[in-house]
């Protein structure tokens, strides 16, 4: 399997995508090709043995081979003509905007490039925290109560303190605040509205248990990770999560009653199938009074949550041969136009 890892892009999470990409080099044994998308959305082919964070922060990558997108894949210029980059499949490792918001999946779908990652609809549903809630409810998975606030038309908040304020569309804890009382509210809203013109308000439940489960659906059925209880203080802020993205060490399994483990897995399956086919996702759940609630869906989790799997490479291999097919579009026969033309006699 010739796997290309695409990372970077125009996103608040550009840097943690680089960290994720470096982490994967340590855990994957297959032939890897690295495609960096810089902040200006230019693509570069980075030599796999040159994947260091400094290459990007220093701008040195700009000396690497330029790639561009065309029908059929990534291409690069040769002395005469051009050549198609020889890969079997791209792993979308762009966190946040461009990667998780659906743009990258649209590019791959449009240009006919097989990829591991959420499809366009799955991206849209998981990237927007309101849509995630509507979708979860529809498939029968609980979420916490919420209120949507728009920057342009702010309304009084109906949720009690303490509350958690989140930009509607970002990941990695960016712009998120826990608000304990009224004195902290206006600053928290200002911060969140810096990142999005809509924010979601949820009750903050102190001491609520959080459990993460990653997985993917392949021809072999569901491939689940262990269930992890992430170690966190009140919640992980960006700096701490950032370090989290570089994780490659196996973590310990959460100790949970079997029934709750089953409920978490059932909720995962309801959310995953069929919307997230083609992706390895991590769902973060809350458990309160033995009831399971979805917190969020990470359709491109930090370092692909490799540290949660017994055999991460096997999951990626299996997924790469189980990618969903889009509906077959017939060739154009111009039946309608021909019939109009003949009706008009021209």
The answer to whether residues 98 and 11 touch, using CB atoms and an 8 Å cutoff, is yes
- Residue 140 found at the interface with a second copy (CB under 8 A): no
Instruction: State the minimum distance, in angstroms, from the CB of residue 257 to a second copy.
Output: 29
Of 56 and 115, nearer to a second copy (C-beta) is 56
Instruction: State the minimum distance, in angstroms, from the CB of residue 318 to a second copy.
Output: 19
SS3 assignment, position 226: strand
How far apart, in whole angstroms, are the C-alpha atoms of residue 159 and residue 156?
Answer: 9
Instruction: State the minimum distance, in angstroms, from the CB of residue 122 to a second copy.
Output: 10
- Residue 279 found at the interface with a second copy (CB under 8 A): no
Of 117 and 260, nearer to a second copy (C-beta) is 117
Q: Tell me the site size for a second copy, rule CB under 8 A.
A: 65
Q: How far apart are the first and last CA of the chain?
A: 53
The answer to whether residues 46 and 34 touch, using CB atoms and an 8 Å cutoff, is yes
Cα separation values, 278 from 115, 287, 321, 324, Å: 8, 27, 9, 6
How far apart, in whole angstroms, are the C-alpha atoms of residue 135 and residue 123?
Answer: 12
Residue located via tokens 């399994």: 253
Instruction: State the minimum distance, in angstroms, from the CB of residue 295 to a second copy.
Output: 19
How far apart, in whole angstroms, are the C-alpha atoms of residue 166 and residue 168?
Answer: 6
- Residue 291 found at the interface with a second copy (CB under 8 A): no
- Residue 318 found at the interface with a second copy (CB under 8 A): no
Residue selected from 11, 126, 212, 306 as contacting a second copy according to rule CB under 8 A: 11
Report which secondary-structure segment, H or E, holds 211.
strand 209-218
Judged by the rule CB under 8 A, the positions of this chain that interact with a second copy are 10-12, 14-16, 18-19, 38-42, 53-54, 56-57, 68-71, 97-98, 101-103, 105-107, 109-112, 120-121, 124-125, 128, 130-131, 134-135, 137-138, 150, 152, 195-198, 239, 242, 274, 327, 329, 331-332, 334-338, 340-341, 346
């Amino acid at each position: 399997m010739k796997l290309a890892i695409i990372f970077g892009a125009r996103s608040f999470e550009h840097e943690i995508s680089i960290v994720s990409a470096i982490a994967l080099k340590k855990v994957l044994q297959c032939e890897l090709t690295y495609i960096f998308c810089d902040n200006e959305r230019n693509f570069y082919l980075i030599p796999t043995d040159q994947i260091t964070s400094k290459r990007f922060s220093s701008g040195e990558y700009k000396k690497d081979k330029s790639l561009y997108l065309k029908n059929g894949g990534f291409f690069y210029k040769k002395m005469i003509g051009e050549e198609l980059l020889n890969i079997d499949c791209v792993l979308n490792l762009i966190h946040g905007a461009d990667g998780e918001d659906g743009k990258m999946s649209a590019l791959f779908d449009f240009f006919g490039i097989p990829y591991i990652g959420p499809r366009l609809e799955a991206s849209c549903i998981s990237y927007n925290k309101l849509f995630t809630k509507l979708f979860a409810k529809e498939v029968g998975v609980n979420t916490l109560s919420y209120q949507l606030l728009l920057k342009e038309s702010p309304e009084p908040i109906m949720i009690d303190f303490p509350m958690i304020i989140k930009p509607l569309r970002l990941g990695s804890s960016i712009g998120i605040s826990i608000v304990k009382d009224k004195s902290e509210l206006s600053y928290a809203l200002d911060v969140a509205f810096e990142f999005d013109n809509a924010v979601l308000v949820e009750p903050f439940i102190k001491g609520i248990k959080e459990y993460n489960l990653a997985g993917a659906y392949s021809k072999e059925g569901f491939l689940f990770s262990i269930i992890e209880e992430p170690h966190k203080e009140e919640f992980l802020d960006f700096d701490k999560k950032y370090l989290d993205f570089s994780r490659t060490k196996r973590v310990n399994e959460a100790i949970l009653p079997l029934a709750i483990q089953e409920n978490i897995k059932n909720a995962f399956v309801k959310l995953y199938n069929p919307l997230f086919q083609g992706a390895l996702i991590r769902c973060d759940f809350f458990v309160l009074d033995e009831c399971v609630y979805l917190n969020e869906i990470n359709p491109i989790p930090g370092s692909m949550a490799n540290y949660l799997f017994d055999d991460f490479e096997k999951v990626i291999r299996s997924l790469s041969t189980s990618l969903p097919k889009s509906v077959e579009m017939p060739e154009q026969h111009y039946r309608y136009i021909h019939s109009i033309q003949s009706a008009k006699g021209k």
